[in-house]
């Protein structure tokens, strides 16, 4: 039997380990000298945290790992409850944060205070068909592609562009139900994008010692 264990960046190690304790992990190892190294564990798997390079964040360096789980929706619900209890809100922007989870989704991401991305994926998740399912055509295929950007890549900007392009190409000939779905998804994405922009501006306006 072989086991692969990811080593993520530790950042401020006590802060990082405390964050994972909020999510129900147990700290099983913590070392600060001669370098930082820590281990957390839950449900039979471990995450390790090692030295952190200077001059770049873990998120900028795309540091992360995948965790395959049963009942991914239950994991997301547990984490949301824990984060709301700790922070008084569900952190959805910046670091740390947890991505949204819609009915039917099979994965979500937790970005920790360092910027490590831990992606929790439902066991048996079907392969994604980037560009939209080959069984679909026209605007229906466009919407499937936008869903992948929105739900799997957390890329609302590209999802918006895909839908806008699809409406220009297929809007006049698409079935009414597909047009309505496209307009509803587009409105939701644009609303969330505007809310995110306002939140970023509000944060930028806060004094550094606030």
| Domain spans of the chain, in order of start | 7-122, 138-200
Residues 110 and 16 sit within 8 Å (Cβ to Cβ) = no
Q: Using one digit for the tens of pLDDT, what is the confidence trace for 110-154?
A: 999 999 999 999 999 877 777 888 888 999 999 888 887 877 777
Q: Using one digit for the tens of pLDDT, what is the confidence trace for 72-119?
A: 999 999 999 999 999 999 998 889 999 989 888 899 999 999 999 999
pTM: 0.78
Instruction: Write out the two tokens for 100.
Output: 């949204």
Q: How far apart are CA 14 and CA 169, in angstroms?
A: 52
Fold of the domain spanning 7-122: 2,3-Dihydroxybiphenyl 1,2-Dioxygenase; domain 1 (3.10.180)
């Amino acid at each position: 039997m072989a086991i692969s264990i990811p080593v993520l960046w530790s950042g401020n190690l006590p802060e990082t380990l405390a964050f994972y304790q909020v999510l129900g992990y147990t700290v099983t190892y913590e070392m600060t000298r001669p370098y930082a190294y820590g281990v957390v564990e839950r449900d039979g798997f471990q995450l390790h945290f090692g030295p952190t390079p200077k001059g770049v964040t873990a998120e900028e360096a795309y540091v992360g790992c995948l965790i395959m789980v049963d009942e991914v929706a239950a994991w997301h619900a547990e984490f949301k409850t824990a984060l709301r209890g700790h922070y008084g809100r569900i952190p959805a922007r910046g670091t740390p944060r947890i991505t949204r989870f819609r009915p039917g989704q099979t994965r979500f991401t937790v970005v920790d205070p360092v910027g490590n991305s831990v992606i929790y994926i439902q066991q048996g998740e079907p392969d994604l068909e980037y560009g939209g399912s080959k069984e679909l055509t026209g605007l229906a295929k466009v919407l499937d592609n936008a869903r992948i950007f929105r739900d799997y890549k957390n890329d609302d900007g590209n999802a918006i562009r895909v839908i806008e392009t699809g409406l220009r190409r297929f809007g006049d000939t698409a079935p009414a139900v597909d047009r309505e779905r496209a307009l509803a998804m587009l409105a939701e994405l644009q609303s969330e994008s505007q809310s995110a922009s306002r939140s970023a501006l509000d944060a930028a306006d806060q004094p550094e010692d606030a």
